[in-house]
Amino acid sequence: MIEIYLLVGLALLALLLILVYNGLVRARNEVENSWSQIDVQLRRRHDLIPNLVATVEGARDFEQEVLREVTEARSRAMTQVSGGISQAAAVGMAESALSTALGGLFAVMENYPDLKSGQNFLALQEELASTENRIAFARQAFNDAVALYNTRRESFPGVLLAGGFPRREHLQIDPTARAVPDASV
């Protein structure tokens, strides 16, 4: 009789370990999936910027320094994103710099009413604003997935099996970085 209780206890313990391990795997995969969603939206943003720059370059005497800053910030951001989830901190800094450069571009645009009222520019501005919202939602989903994952790996009994599950860092964007202004500007 004792052997049956011992076998049932061991089976329950094994089942618990399997469930905890599978929960850690699911949480890790959710973090990676969430990162993929951020990556998709950041690449979408990066793809829109050359069109915006081309539209603005058509304006006479437009501040070339502003366009150069946007182009360089985009290049740095694209390089960081290609590093993947392991480069989350660097991606955050590069994307903050890109947001700041875009904010500078839109601020300078105030001096060019003909350009900022053009259909191409308005469509690109709207698309960028929409993409910024998608990035914010994807970033929130990523950080939620990271929080759940880290909680599972650091809580008992997950901590017993967490050796192969490294801690993940949240994606942080510099809060002082200026986001792309509202498309209604």
Q: What is the pLDDT of residues 19-39, one digit of tens each?
A: 999 999 999 999 999 988 888
- Taking each helix axis from N to C end, the angle separating 119-154 and 2-57, rounded to the nearest 10 degrees, works out to 160
Q: Is residue 177 part of a domain?
A: no
In a domain, 117, yes or no: yes
Residue 160 in any domain: the answer is yes
Q: Is residue 98 part of a domain?
A: yes
Please tell me the pTM assigned to this model. 0.71
Q: Which domain holds residue 54?
A: 2-164
User: According to the model, what pLDDT value does residue 25 have?
Assistant: 92
Residue 156 lies in a domain: yes
- Given a cut of 90, whether residue 110 has pLDDT beyond it is no
Whether 185 is in a domain gets the answer no
| 176 in a structural domain | no
Per-residue pLDDT tens for 45-101? 888 888 888 777 766 556 677 777 888 888 888 877 766 676 677 777 788 888 888
In the chain, pLDDT over 70 holds for what percent of residues?
84
SS3 of 70, please?
Answer: helix
User: How many domains in the chain?
Assistant: 1
Taking a C-beta distance cutoff of 8 angstroms, is the pair 70, 46 a contact?
no
* Domain assignment of residue 56, yes or no: yes
Torsion of CA 158, 151, 22, 166, to 10 degrees: -80
The pLDDT value recorded for residue 28 is 92
Q: Distance (Å, rounded) from C-alpha 185 to C-alpha 98?
A: 19
Q: What is the CATH number of the domain that holds 30?
A: 1.20.1440.20
AA letter at 180: V
Q: Peptide bond preceding 181: is omega within 30 degrees of 0, i.e. cis? A: no
